[in-house]
Amino acid sequence: MSVTECQLDLNFAVDSSGSINYKHPNNWDIALQFVANVSSAFTIGPNDVQVAFVLFGDAATVEWDLTRYRDKPSLIRAILTMRYLDARTNLNDALYLTRTEVFAPGRGTRPNALKVTVIVTDGEDNVPAVGTPLTVQNATECKNQGIRLMGVGVSNQVDEQRLRQIVSDPLRDYYPVDDYISLRTIIQQLTPQICATTATPIPSITHISYWFL
C-alpha cells in the first residue's frame, strides 16, 4: 500500500510551549511547515486520510476534528496559520483529548481506518508537574484503544526515555532530531511509517509537496 492509498485517521498533537520560539523566533513556523509537509503526502478526504489537530500548552485544545477539512488546500492553510501559545507543555491533556474527543465514537473516526497520533514536542511534559504519571496513563489508555502513538522529539531538552515509554513502539515510533530546522530530514522516513502496520523498508518518496508560509 502506498502512502496515498492509506485509509488513515491521523491526529497531530503539537507542543506550543514557550521554549520553542525562545530558541529561535522561526521555530513555530518551521514546526507547522513540518506538519503541513507530512500531511501533504496523503490523499485528504473522507474516504482516504482525515487529519485532526490538538494544540497543547498550559492546557490542550482540539483545534479541529477529523471531519473538519475535506481537501488538502484548506487543511494546509489551517495548519500553517495555527496560533502560537507560548506556554507550558501539557502533553497529559493532549493525550486525554486524543482519546476522549478526537477518536471518540461518533466524532468521525472510521472503524476500518488506522488510528495514529503524531506527537511533536521540544521538551518534557510539565503539567500538572514534571514527570506526572498522568501522561503515561493517558498514553497507555490511548494505546489500549487502538490508537498508535508516534513521537518526534526536538532538541536535547526532550526526555527521550519518557517519550519512548509514551509511544507505541520505543524503537519504531520515536524520531529524535537536534533542532526544528532538522525536522525536514525525517519527513521521508516518518511519512510511510505512519501507514505501516509493521516495520517496513523506507521507500523513495518523490510525490511529497512542500508547503511554506
Given a cut of 70, whether residue 3 has pLDDT beyond it is no
The owner of cell 466524532 is 107
- Residues 175-201 pLDDT 10s: 999 999 999 999 999 999 999 865 444
| pTM beyond 0.75, yes or no | yes
Tell me what percent of the residues of the chain surpass a pLDDT of 90.
79
Name the band, by pLDDT with cuts 50, 70 and 90, for residue 131. confident
**Considering only CA atoms, which of 210, 208, 207, 173 is closest in space to residue 190?**
173
* Residue 149 bridge partners (DSSP): 117
**Considering only CA atoms, which of 107, 95, 183 is closest in space to residue 144?**
95
The owner of cell 479541529 is 64
Beta strands in 43-95 (DSSP E): 49-56, 60-64
**Per-domain residue ranges of the chain:** 3-194
> What CATH architecture does domain 3-194 belong to?
3-Layer(aba) Sandwich (3.40)
Contact present, 35 and 71 (Cβ < 8 Å): no
Cell numbers linked to 9: 485517521
